[in-house]
Amino acid sequence: MSSPGPWGRPATPRKTSRLGLYLWLGVMGGAALLIFVLNRYFPSSDSPWGDPAIVQTLGFLFLVSSSLLFVREFNLKRTARNILLWLAVGGVLLIGFSFQSELEGLWLRLRGALIPSYAVQTGTHEMTISEGEDGHYHVYATVNGVEIPFLIDTGASDIVLDPSDAKRLGFDLGSLAFDRPFGSANGVGHGASAQVDTLSVGAFHLSHVPVSINGAEMGSSLLGMAFLKRLKSYSFSGGKLILRW
């Protein structure tokens, strides 16, 4: 005789069900079949069962799907909805992984459209910078691993760092001699000679780059002709500055 349940009600004996076991075996069998079919139509020199990534994925699936062993009831509508939901999530992840380079390029183009100061890769060894609201061309460059905003100035002869940007890069301004004259669109200024290890604009990278550090605040660091001459060519067209190297 079974013991009484809560509040004196007779306990309902738990029925043994093998439904969960069948579902779990179906999931594992479907995964194995999928791997077999993919290997048949996309063969490789190595056995898929020797691939550590596949073995790891199957182990994770084995662990997660083992919860199906405790299923006692089966709601076809709800189960089908959940399966479709997970298939949709898996499909989105698969598409994202397969087209990650294209999606990255799309994101960079979108970022360049929303923030003109970011250069956009538009071809092999080619990038485009959009004109800013002030009619000038601004671009973010990475100098020694630090992102610095620059104004592209064809009237400047050097790559010129604003004192505040130089401090961010770790230069000790008090130990520099600001005795080097250089030309810019605002006239002749005096700066100190220095060098940065790396300077990158988009995919264009330079190493061991001579720069000048201006003695007075400028509002923005400048990429002058010393930078533009490192390029193969540059041109202005339709509010765009096209750089090729």
CB 140 within 8 A of CB 147: yes
Length of the chain: 245
Distance from C-alpha of 69 to C-alpha of 139, rounded to nearest angstrom: 58
The domain 117-244 having CATH identifier 2.40.50.140: the answer here is: no
- Cα 235 to chain centroid distance, Å, stands at 28
In the beta sheet, which residues pair with residue 138? 151
Q: What is the pLDDT of residue 9?
A: 58
d(CA 111, CA 158): 28
pLDDT of amino acid 184: 58
pLDDT digits (tens, 9 = 90+) for 71-110: 666 565 776 676 677 667 766 665 655 555 555 555 555 5
The pLDDT assigned to 53 comes to: 65
Rounded distance, CA 183 to CA 137, Å?
Answer: 19
Contacts of 48 (CB under 8 A, 6+ apart): 35, 38, 39, 54
Domain ranges of the chain: 16-98, 117-244
With 60 as the cut, is the pLDDT of residue 231 above it?
yes
pLDDT (0 to 100) of residue 130? 86
- Is residue 202 pLDDT above 60, yes or no? yes
pLDDT of the residue at 164: 94
- Tens digits of per-residue pLDDT, 118-135? 788 888 899 888 888 888
